[in-house]
Amino acid sequence: MRPSFALGALAALVLPVAALAQAPKWGPAPAVFAAGARMEVLQGDPGQNALFTVRLEFPDGYRIPAHYHPTDEHITVISGTFLVGMGDTLDAAKTKALAAGGFVTAGANMNHYAIARGSTVVQVHAMGPFVLTYVNPKDDPRNKLSSR
């Protein structure tokens, strides 16, 4: 095999992947999350009816009250500790601590909640469109904004 052909073949394999690997950009999480959360989209569009992958960053002590989604939600902890519980109200005593590398699936329409211990980053992979419904509407930050 001629060296120039081998180099060309290698470039054809590597360049398309490198062209797609754009650095994600962190920004504020959608208004359905309380202030303090940040999000970056890694793949897909959470607003569309297709698979998507996002990362969410939460400060220490950040709480996500009991909520559910219409589709399964697959969560991997990237850094920090994510305390996850199942049920209708947030109860820190009933959470399971997931460290970096930890994984959990919250099934469709399953009420669950979470707390960040330390600065925490999680990766969420799910089928869109992304919808988060709080069990108690008073917990929805969008309702607090509209009542001001």
| pLDDT tens, per residue, the chain with 148 residues | 555 544 444 455 554 554 455 677 999 999 999 999 999 999 999 999 999 999 999 999 999 999 999 999 999 999 999 999 999 999 999 999 999 999 999 999 999 999 999 999 999 999 999 999 999 999 999 998 655 4
Instruction: State residue 18's pLDDT score.
Output: 46
Q: Confirm whether 134 is domain-assigned.
A: yes
- Structural domain total, the chain: 1
Residue the block writes with tokens 């997931």 = 98
Whole-structure pTM value: 0.83
Task: Look at residue 90 and tell me if it is in a domain.
Answer: yes
In a domain, 53, yes or no: yes
Structural domain that includes position 45 = 24-146
- Specify whether the backbone of 61 is left (phi greater than 0), alpha (psi in -120 to 50) or beta: left
CATH at residue 115: 2.60.120.10
Torsion on CA atoms 90, 38, 138, 129, rounded to nearest 10: -100
Residue 13 has what pLDDT?
52
Burial of 84 (0-12, 13-18, 19+ CB in 10 A): buried
Give the separation between CA 74 and CA 92, rounded to whole angstroms: 21
Token duo for residue 138: 């008073």
Judged by DSSP in three states, 18 sits in helix
**Which residues does 77 contact at the CB level (< 8 Å), separation at least 6?**
98, 99, 100, 101, 102, 103, 120, 121, 122, 123
